[in-house]
Amino acid sequence: MYQPDKYKKNNPAYIFSFIRSHPFATVIINGSRLLATHIPVLTEGDAQNFRLFSHIANHNEMLPYLKDNTEMLLVFQGAHGYVSSSWYQQKDISTWDYSAVHVNARVKIQSKEELKESLKKLVAHFEQNQEVPVFFNDIPQKIVDEHLPQITGFWCEPTKIESIAKFHQGFGCEDVNSVTQHLEKENPTLSREIRKEHGKNN
């Protein structure tokens, strides 16, 4: 990851919270060529000590290369967007503000029981705020039995974690205010993240 010092985010609590808030990851491994897939990835543990877990379909071309100790890169993408230099007090270069976490990890294939427990946690995580949630144990057993053999679950043990939040650090208040005001209409999430980085609540 390209990480200018002023944009680095090394706080474990920030990184852990970021991954939990942006669980849909790009997962990359080196197979016959570089292979990538896009899947939800969840955490187990806490900010000081955690591992990740997910699963892929068995017909995914990544599967033959997904083995114990395979190196994997997981990319978690946060708020991002174009920032026009026309929003500054003086002419400058336009840019792109963004946030991301990269996790290098070693794979460990899950057992059938581990996969079932992971699926229960995955479904519970995303169903918990639904008006009428359907949890894993609510799914008819016949459907579970048909689909479980078609997927492979895995753990990811982090070996290196890098994080960045490029949110106009180093710019003056007038430019930051102008940027966030312009973003408010089209990209309110990014606007909010920039304001938070600069200690602004509105």
- Structure confidence by residue, pLDDT tens digits, 140-169: 999 999 999 999 999 999 999 999 999 999
For residue 47, being part of any structural domain is answered with yes
C-beta separation of 65 from 29 below 8 A: yes
Tokens of 52: 């990740």
- Structure confidence by residue, pLDDT tens digits, 88-143: 999 899 999 999 999 999 999 999 999 999 999 999 999 999 999 999 999 999 99
Q: Please state, in angstroms and rounded to a whole number, the distance separating the CA atoms of residues 127 and 148.
A: 19
Looking up residue 81, the CATH number of its domain turns out to be 2.30.110.10
Q: Which of 95, 8, 201 is nearest to 191 (CA)?
A: 201
The domain in which residue 117 lies consists of 5-168
For residue 31, being part of any structural domain is answered with yes
Q: Is 182 exposed, middle or buried (0-12, 13-18, 19+ CB in 10 A)?
A: middle
Q: How many domains does the chain have?
A: 1
3-state secondary structure of 190: helix
Q: Which of 85, 112, 103 is nearest to 171 (CA)?
A: 85
Q: What is the pTM of this model?
A: 0.93
Residue 116 vs residues 17, 137, 145: alpha-carbon distances, Å: 25, 10, 11
For residue 200, being part of any structural domain is answered with no
